[in-house]
C-alpha cells in the first residue's frame, strides 16, 4: 500500500474546479487511490464527464455543479457533503482562471471574476468546510492552489499574479491558525509549475481585452512545448499532500529557483525587472 492510499483511501475528497485541468487531474488521482471524489465545477457537463472517467475505472465519484465565486454555493456544497458522507478527508480549493492583459485594460467584470474565483473561492472554501472538519476531530487535509506565480512578477498577468500571491499568504496564515487550534488539519500550499492544461486555451479568454490575445498564445505555446504531463504532475503533488508537506510542488527545483529570485529581489529592494525569457514572451 502506498503512502497516498494509507492516508487517503476510503476518505472523501472534495475538489473544486475539477471539470478540467489540474482539478480534473487531482480528481482522477484521488479516485485511483481509493477516495470517494466530489467533482465540483461550474460546468456541470465537464464535472459529470470527469466523474464518469473515475467510475469507468472502478472508482467512486459524483459531480456537483458549483460556482466558487458565490460563497453561499460553497456553504451548500459543505452542508451537502457532510450531511451525506459525514466527513471530508481532503479538500482541494483548486478552481481558478487565468486573466491576461494590461491591468488598466482588463474590464471591471473580468477583474472581479478573477478575484472572486481565484482568491475568494479559496477563502470561502476554507470558511465553509473548516468548522465541520474541526468538529470531527479527524485528521484531514486542505490544499489551496497557489502557483509558482505566487513568488514572481509578470507584466500582462497582474490579475492572476495578485490572486496567487494572496492565496500563498492566506495558506501560510491558515497553517499557523491550525497550530494555534492544535487541530489535526494539514494545510498545504499546492504550487504547480509549468503543467500542460487548457488554462491558456483561446476559449478561456472571454472578457479579456483584445491586446491579451498575443500574450495568451505565447503562454499556450510555451506550456504545450515545455510543460509537465498533467497526470504525472498531479501524482507528484498528491504524494506531497500525503506526506503532510506545506510546500507541495509539481516541480520543486523550479519552485526553489523562483523563490530564490524573489528573495534576492526583496533583500536587494531593487526595481522590478523582466528576465530575457519574460521579455520574449510579452514583447
Nearest Cα residue to 66 out of 87, 80, 85 = 80
pLDDT of residue 204: 67
User: Under a CB-based contact definition with an 8 Å cutoff, are residues 66 and 42 in contact?
Assistant: yes
Question: Could you tell me the pTM of the whole model?
Answer: 0.94
Distance from C-alpha of 222 to C-alpha of 241, rounded to nearest angstrom: 28
Phi and psi torsions of 188, nearest 5°: -125, 135
Helix axes 121-136, 158-181, angle to 10 degrees: 20
**pLDDT-wise least confident of 100-114, 117-131, 220-234:** 220-234
Beta bridge partners of 92: 15, 143
- Within 10 A of 88 (CB to CB), how many other CB atoms are there? 23
- Characterise 33 by phi-psi region: left (phi > 0), alpha (psi -120 to 50), beta (else): alpha
Beta bridge partners of 64: 40
DSSP 100: -
> Which pLDDT tens digit goes with each residue over 12-35?
999 999 999 999 999 999 999 999
In this structure, the dihedral spanned by the alpha carbons of residues 230, 233, 239 and 244, taken in order and rounded to 10 degrees, is -110
pLDDT, average across residues 70-93: 98
pLDDT of residue 196: 86
pLDDT of residue 227: 82
DSSP H or E stretch at residue 24:
helix 21-32
Rounded alpha-carbon distances, angstroms, from residue 55 to 43, 49, 70, 196, 204: 19, 10, 29, 24, 28
Beta bridge partners of 39: 15, 63
Please give the biggest Cα pair distance in the chain: 54
Domains and CATH numbers, the chain: 3-282 (3.40.50.720)
What confidence tier does 210 reach under pLDDT thresholds 50, 70, 90? confident
Nearest Cα residue to 59 out of 17, 16, 9, 114 = 9
pLDDT, average across residues 50-76: 98
Q: % helix / strand / coil in the chain, to the nearest 5?
A: 55, 15, 30
Beta bridge partners of 248: 190
End-to-end CA distance of the chain: 50
Look up cell 480528481; give the residue.
27
| CA 193 centroid distance within chain | 11
Q: Calculate what percentage of the chain has a pLDDT beyond 90.
A: 82
What count of Cα atoms within 13 Å lies in the side-chain half-sphere of residue 58?
2
Amino acid at each position: 500500500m502506498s503512502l497516498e492510499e494509507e492516508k487517503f483511501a476510503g476518505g472523501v475528497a472534495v475538489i473544486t474546479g475539477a471539470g478540467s485541468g489540474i482539478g480534473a487531474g487531482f480528481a482522477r488521482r484521488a479516485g485511483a487511490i481509493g477516495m470517494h471524489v466530489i467533482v465540483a465545477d461550474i460546468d456541470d457537463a465537464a464535472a459529470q464527464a470527469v466523474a464518469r472517467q473515475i467510475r469507468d475505472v472502478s472508482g467512486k465519484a459524483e459531480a456537483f455543479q458549483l460556482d466558487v465565486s458565490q460563497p453561499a454555493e460553497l456553504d451548500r456544497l459543505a452542508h451537502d457533503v457532510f450531511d451525506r458522507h459525514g466527513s471530508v478527508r481532503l479538500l482541494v480549493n483548486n478552481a481558478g482562471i487565468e486573466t491576461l492583459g494590461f491591468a488598466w485594460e482588463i474590464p471591471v467584470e473580468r477583474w472581479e471574476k478573477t478575484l472572486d474565483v481565484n482568491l475568494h473561492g479559496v477563502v470561502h472554501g476554507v470558511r465553509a468546510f473548516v468548522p465541520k472538519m474541526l468538529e470531527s476531530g479527524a485528521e484531514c487535509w486542505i490544499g489551496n492552489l497557489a502557483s509558482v506565480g505566487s513568488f514572481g512578477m509578470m507584466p500582462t498577468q497582474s490579475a492572476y499574479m495578485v490572486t496567487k500571491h494572496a492565496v500563498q499568504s492566506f495558506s501560510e496564515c491558515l497553517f499557523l491558525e491550525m497550530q494555534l487550534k492544535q487541530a489535526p488539519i494539514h494545510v498545504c500550499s499546492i504550487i504547480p509549475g509549468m503543467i500542460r492544461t487548457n488554462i491558456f486555451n483561446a476559449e478561456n479568454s472571454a472578457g479579456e481585452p483584445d491586446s491579451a490575445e498575443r500574450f495568451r498564445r505565447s503562454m499556450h505555446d510555451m506550456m504545450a512545448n515545455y510543460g509537465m504531463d498533467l497526470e504525472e504532475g498531479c501524482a507528484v503533488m498528491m504524494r506531497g499532500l500525503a506526506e503532510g508537506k506545506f510546500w507541495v510542488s509539481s516541480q520543486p527545483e523550479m519552485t526553489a529557483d523562483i523563490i530564490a529570485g524573489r528573495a534576492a529581489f526583496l533583500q536587494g529592494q531593487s526595481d522590478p525587472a523582466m528576465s530575457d525569457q519574460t521579455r520574449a514572451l510579452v514583447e
